[in-house]
Structure formats: C-alpha cells, structure tokens
C-alpha cells in the first residue's frame, strides 16, 4: 500500500509540474486556431515536455523513490564490521573510478539483489539486499558492488532516462497524430475532438509504448554486460562470475517496478519473444560473455 501511495503521489506531482510549465510558456493546445488542423509544432512541444520532462523528473527523484519504495536504510556511519567493510569497498572503488562517494544502503529482502540509481555520476545511491549479503562471500559481494559502481561510472541512469524520454516523446507524438487522423478522416469529425479521438490515442499510446519499450530493454541488456565487465575489472573475473552463479541458483529479490532496470538481476528470459521485453540478459549469457572476455583488473592496468 505504501509503494502504491508513493507511486501515485510521484506521478501526480510530475503531471502538475509539467502542466504548470506549459501554462507558464503560453501553451494553448495541439490544434491550430481554426480548431480543425493539427499544429505540429505545438504537438512536438507538448510531446517533448511530457516525454523528456517526465523521464528526467523521475531521474532526479530516483534516490528518494528508491529509499521510499525499496525501504533502503542509508548507512551514514558504519555500525558493525560488515558496514565498515562495505563503506571501505565503495570508497576504494569510487577513487579507482574517479567518482564522488555515493550514498550506500541496505534494503530488507531474503533474496539476493542490488541496484544503483541517482541523477548523476556524483549523486548516486548503491544498495544491497540483506539476502545478497547473507548468501554471498565477501569477494562476490565486492564484485556486485563493482557492477553497480560501473553503472554509476558509465552514466547508465542518465543515458537510460534520456533514451526513455525520447521514446516517450515519439510515442506521445505519433499516438496523437493517429488519433487526429481517425477523428478527422474516418469519423469525419469537423471541429474539436470527439470521444473516438481519445480512445484512439489511448489505444495507440499503449501499443506504441509496448513496441518502443523493446528499444529501452535492448539498451538495458547491453549495459548489463558492460557493468559485468566493470565489476570484473574492479575485482576479478572469477569473483564476478561466482556472484552471477549465486544469482543464477537463487531467485532475485523483486524490486519495485521503477527500480527493475537498475537491479543486478531481473532474472532475464531465455525465449526470443520474452527476451525482447527483459531489462536483463539471461545470467547464463552474462557468465559466458565474461568467460570469453579478455579482461585485466584496474589495479593491473594501473601497474602496467
């Protein structure tokens, strides 16, 4: 119930902010003054504001959402031996990657998972589940931390939000073009918009959104391989593979929908159709890619 409440409040707040912004810049609608023809410039502005704006507002709220929805306990001062070790590992990896120390935290879940989020490379959050901490050896946990830190260093959260925003804008734009066509050409409505327009827009937006999500999922899967390589370079290839084998044997913790793409494991799907809509590749493919990769650790690279 708490997660649903935060989700609704967040989305209502985003809609209000974007609506106020459009009002302040004098936006009057997507129809031309004659009330018949489509104003493509206004429609593009509307699409960009709600597509890009919504995506980036969500990005800037991502740390707050993660703490609220996943129940992350932020570690400001280590209180036990593990928290001190956790803090030291993230500090060392931050220095190796040239990053500002992120916030670190733990969320309560019996299954293993971890995620990174934040609005920029130097304003991020890394969190581990209690299940991951209890089921993995220290070298495996360190590799998982390296995986998440690589997401931060690669700017994956920002890039994913940018791609999602562009996709959203195109979906909003073309769904309304389709709705306009149906309303004017098929339903022969002469002014304003009838109920057919609104039903068509909703239907087109759902269909286009589903199809467009495959692009976002494709990028998300690519970045998981990069983050695995990063985790291996910060620790060792053997440690990264070992941590993935643990995840392969156990069911990963179910994260809130908004955080799924940022977790180290969303299981992944083996079938071709389901794989198109998966944010993560199958763990077996990630292990195989690591085994075939010629990688050196950052410490070895710096020594050379």
CA separation for the pair 261, 223 (Å, rounded): 10
Q: Which domain holds residue 224?
A: 2-303
**Which pTM does this prediction carry?**
0.83
Neighbours of 274 (CB within 10 A): 10
Domains in the chain, number: 1
Give the C-alpha separation, 220 to 205, whole Å.
22
Tens digit of pLDDT at every position of the chain (304 positions) = 444 454 555 556 666 777 777 777 777 788 877 777 888 989 999 999 998 988 888 888 888 888 888 889 999 999 999 999 999 999 999 999 999 999 999 999 888 999 999 989 999 999 999 999 999 999 999 999 999 999 999 999 999 999 999 999 999 999 999 999 999 889 988 777 888 999 999 999 999 999 999 999 999 999 999 999 999 999 999 999 999 999 988 765 455 554 555 566 555 555 566 778 888 899 999 999 999 988 777 655 554 4
pLDDT at res. 272: 60
Contact 281, 244 (CB under 8 A): no
Catalytic residue among 103, 140, 148, 224: 148
Is there a catalytic annotation at residue 148? yes
Residue found by looking up tokens 């704006």 in the block: 53
Instruction: Tell me the β-bridge partners of 125.
Output: 103, 117
């Amino acid at each position: 119930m708490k997660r649903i409440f935060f989700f609704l409040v967040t989305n209502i707040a985003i809609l209000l902010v974007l609506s106020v912004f459009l009002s302040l810049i004098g936006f009057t609608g997507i129809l031309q003054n004659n009330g018949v023809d489509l104003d493509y410039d206004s429609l593009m502005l509307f699409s960009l504001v709600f597509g890009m704006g919504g995506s980036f507002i969500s990005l800037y709220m991502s740390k707050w959402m993660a703490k609220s929805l996943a129940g992350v306990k932020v570690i400001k001062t280590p209180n036990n031996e593990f928290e001190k070790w956790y803090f030291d590992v993230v500090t060392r990896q931050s220095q190796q990657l040239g990053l500002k120390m992120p916030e670190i935290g733990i969320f309560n879940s019996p299954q293993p998972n971890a995620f990174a989020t934040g609005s920029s490379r130097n304003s991020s959050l890394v969190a581990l589940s209690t299940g991951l901490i209890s089921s993995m050896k220290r070298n495996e946990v360190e590799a998982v931390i390296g995986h998440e830190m690589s997401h931060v260093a690669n700017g994956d959260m920002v890039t994913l939000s940018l791609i999602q925003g562009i996709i959203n804008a195109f979906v909003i734009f073309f769904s309304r073009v389709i709705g306009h066509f149906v309303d004017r050409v098929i339903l022969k409505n002469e002014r304003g918009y009838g109920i057919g327009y609104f039903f068509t827009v909703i239907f087109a937006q759902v269909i286009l959104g589903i199809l467009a999500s495959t692009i976002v999922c494709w990028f998300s899967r690519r970045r998981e391989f990069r983050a695995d390589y990063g985790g291996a370079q910060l620790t060792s290839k053997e440690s990264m593979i070992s941590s993935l084998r643990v995840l392969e044997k156990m069911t990963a913790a179910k994260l809130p929908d908004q955080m799924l793409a940022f977790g180290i494991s969303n299981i992944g799907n083996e079938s071709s159709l389901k794989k198109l809509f998966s944010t993560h590749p199958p763990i077996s493919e990630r292990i195989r890619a690591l085994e075939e990769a010629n990688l050196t650790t950052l410490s070895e690279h710096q020594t050379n």
